Chain A
Amino acid sequence: MHEQKDPGETRRGFLKRAAGVLALVNGLVLGVPMIGSLLGAVKKTGERPWTKLATLGSLPEGRPVEVKFKAVVEDAFHYRMTLQSAWVIRHSEERLTVFSPVCTHLGCHFLWNKKTGHFECPCHASIFAQDGTVISGPAPRRLDTLEHRIENGDLLVRLERFKSGTARKVTVEA
């Protein structure tokens, strides 16, 4: 039998369904960007700033020195002046290597052993040569170098942090 639907019923049905659809769409138009935003990455900055490490003249040649310097660190909208450190080896007048002070294994700060001429990490005994290569221990990759340049007799460095425990050197965006 062909059922005749009461016109009032289909009208009610349409209104209910339409109201539901509108509510759903509005919810999605707001909800999807919101969830996406809260789950998504917060972009730090397009370019990292250059920070002055030290004057070139103050750095001795031949051996690694730990340089402590002031740098503004960005934490969301919070900019704080903090003390940072980096290892600098001056090979010649203008040739240098700058290492991030963070061990590539799990993030501890490593030390320089004068006697052995190696970088040694006190946490899990990773040992690195003066050029950063891993001699022994659990470190998955060589020491991370920091981009640097010399300007007006000053050594400038681009402060960055890298992921620990990975074989590849990956910049941490956070």
Chain B
Amino acid sequence: MKRLLVWFRERWPVDAVLRLALEEEIPGGARYAYTLGSAVLTVFFLQTVTGVFQLLFYVPATDLAYDSVSYIRTRVQFGWLFHGLHYWGAQAMIVLVLFHMTRVFLWGAYKRPRELTWLLGVALLLAVMAFSFSGSPLQWDQRGYWIGEVSTSIAGTMPVVGDMMKRLIRGGEAMGQIALLRLFTLHVGVLPAALAGLFGLHIVAMRRFGSVGPWDESKRGRSGPFWPDQFYKDMVTGTTVLFVLITLAVFLPPGYSGPADPLDVSYIPKPDWNFLFLYEALKYFQGRLEPVGTVGVPAVLITILLLLPFIDRNPERNPLRRPFALAGALLLGGILAALSIKGYLSPGFGQVQEQQKTEIRLPGKGAFVSVGEAARGPSGPAGEGKTEGQPGPAAYMIGSAERGGMVFERLCSACHGKEGRGGVPNPGSTAGKVPSLAPIDSRLFSADARTFAGNIDSIIQHGSRPAGTAPAISMPPFGDNNTLTQAEIANVEAYILALNSLDRGQIVNPGMEPGRFYIFVMAIYILVVLGLGGLRKRMEGR
């Protein structure tokens, strides 16, 4: 083994590379404040690992993307974990980048001669934002689809280049298959390579002059080595970040917004939190000013960031002695925060504001018919209650119970009662009433979410005539007569399951239940911390 190492070292500059990577004297010694940058790198590793894992199952095709992600989340062992980590890791990456930028700003580490490191950092920030923008639509759920649709439309409003940019990202006019593939290629191929490359340049630039260290001269007396002092602190922060992300993945799994449904105009699209400031800002640039906003707002922000080291030539690094810089940063931060909060609170976030329509159109009839009328009268041969047909595509999709509830209230509660409680009379039927859905007939119920959904799906798709001589109300075929999209039916099914205390997105094959896994992980980390504590005491004792 030793001989192999010697052979390798003779032919590859191991020592030089290690020196570049590990050798650095940090003025004032290692500090936890300096671990934020490496925390971003740690999360990037995590995203790569969890991303590759999902790549083993994910399909970037519009009719398979959503189901493949649902598959990961419910039928692949620990799929729930890796998907959850990837989701929360994405949020963490942005947060940590912002913290790191702020720390660098406060220390004045962007000032001469470290301007290049800062510029590369801005490029990295943009790459991270691009990751966020390209990642959401990949799931092809309502949330992601509309984020893709709206943000590319906004890009399209840019003067001169807008239309070209929109068509470049979408691969055409529509937000469809080619758009999905483009965003996928960006997210999985181009951006990781770009980020890795930029990071390499960034860290080498940083090592050229080393850490800037404390601004307080009295604290610059001693210095500390990067290896192992700072590296150890980096590992502690990295471990903490990982543990927090696991906690989030276990206790706050990303919800289901239902399959992408371009026909569902009741869904109010909103960008992810990190783009809310832009979303809100653009509201101030309506009509003819729109292009000014679309180009201007991002351009101004990026320009400010890029020019910072050149505008601020004051060599002073103590933030308390840099009133203009500090005030400027607080002002900018405050504006962005205020815009984000306003954007978050603005109507449409999770709320539906449009009119409740109870009209459905039956093809061939040419006129709008109310739900009541469509439900009236027998829809099949008299006598036995009968449902023809197999489950439709909706049965296999995991819908959003929340959105299903909205559809239910609009189209189902009139007959099935509020929240499916039943009780609406149905003269002429054997049962005498429209069946209750909460709890639902035991013949339809199943503890397996997909089976349950499949059972009720046949009825929703094809309609059903209740048993009886001449029932006044029958169940209309919401799927066959194109009243509801498959996505909407999937959402309604998720809602009905929820009424029966069943989660449509139940994890069928967890590998290990999230709760149990968490206890396991917590125990491991506690043991490690205690063990290291003991080790330290022993070593200090010698």
Contacts and interface: CB of A to CB of B under 8 A. Distances in A.
Are these two chains actual partners, yes or no? yes
B144 interface: no
Contacts of B393: 79
Interface stretch (A70-78, A124-132, A164-172): A70-78
Nearest to A52: B390
A26 interface: yes
A34 B448 CA distance: 25
Contacts of B268: none
A16 B228 contact: yes
B498 interface: no
B535 A17 contact: yes
Given A10-B540, A14-B539, A77-B64, A22 B235 contact: yes
B57 A26 contact: no
B117 interface: no
Contacts of A51: 390
A1 interface: no
B509 A42 contact: yes
Contact of B511 (A10, A21, A40): A40
Contacts of B239: 22, 25-26
Nearest to A48: B451
A77 B70 contact: yes
Contacts, number: 123
B481 interface: no
A11 B539 contact: yes
Given A30-B49, A42-B509, A15 B232 contact: yes
Nearest to B231: A19
B528 A46 contact: no
B511 A14 contact: no
B266 interface: no
A37 B53 CA distance: 10
A26 B535 contact: no
Given A29-B524, A42-B509, A18 B535 contact: yes
Nearest to A17: B535
A25 B511 contact: no
Q: Which secondary structure dominates chain B's binding surface? A: helix
Interface in B451-488: 451, 454
B156 interface: no
B511 A76 contact: no
Most chain A CB inside 10 Å of its own CB: which residue of B57, B246, B509: B509
B525 to A, nearest CB: 7
Interface stretch (B10-18, B71-79, B289-297): B71-79
Contact of A14 (B64, B396, B535): B535
Given A22-B528, A25-B524, A37 B511 contact: yes
- Interface range for B: 35 or more
Contact of A152 (B56, B238, B384, B517): B384
Interface in B239-296: 239, 242, 246
B150 interface: no
A42 B539 contact: no
B539 A25 contact: no
A152 B77 CA distance: 39
A16 B450 CA distance: 50
B49 A18 contact: no
A36 interface: yes
B508 interface: yes
B508 A26 contact: no
A95 interface: no
B521 interface: yes
B222 interface: no
Nearest to B386: A152
B358 to A, nearest CB: 32
A14 B56 CA distance: 39
Contacts of A21: 528, 531-532
Contacts of B384: 152
Interface string A128-168: 00000000000000000000000010000000000000000
Contacts of A5: 542
Interface string B209-240: 00000000000000000001101100110110
Contacts of A60: none
A25 B528 contact: yes
Nearest to A24: B528
Interface in A1-56: 5, 7, 10-19, 21-23, 25-26, 29-30, 33-34, 36-38, 40-47, 49, 51-52
B114 to A, nearest CB: 26
B493 interface: no
Nearest to A47: B451
A92 to B, nearest CB: 24
Contacts of B228: 12, 15-16, 19
Contact of B235 (A12, A19, A30): A19
B37 to A, nearest CB: 17
Contacts of A41: 77, 509
B141 interface: no
Given A42-B509, A76-B57, A10 B528 contact: no
A22 B241 CA distance: 12
A104 to B, nearest CB: 28
Given A34-B49, A34-B53, A37-B76, A47 B448 contact: yes
Interface in A59-89: 72, 76-79
B448 A45 contact: yes
Contacts of B175: none
Contacts of A23: 235
B448 A79 contact: no
B105 interface: no
Contact of A15 (B64, B70, B229, B512): B229
13 contacts: A11-B539, A14-B535, A14-B536, A14-B539, A15-B228, A19-B235, A21-B531, A30-B49, A33-B512, A34-B53, A34-B82, A37-B76, A47-B448
Given A33-B512, A40-B77, A42-B75, 14 more contacts: A18-B536, A19-B232, A25-B528, A26-B242, A29-B246, A29-B521, A33-B517, A37-B82, A41-B77, A45-B448, A45-B451, A46-B446, A47-B448, A72-B390
Interface of B: 46, 49, 53, 56-57, 59, 64, 67-68, 70-71, 75-79, 81-82, 228-229, 231-232, 235-236, 238-239, 242, 246, 384, 386, 390-391, 393, 396, 446-448, 450-451, 454, 508-509, 511-512, 517, 521, 524-525, 528, 531-532, 535-536, 539-540, 542
In the complex, the 9 A-B pairs of residues with the closest C-beta atoms, listed nearest first: A46-B448, A43-B509, A77-B71, A77-B67, A15-B228, A37-B77, A33-B78, A15-B232, A10-B539
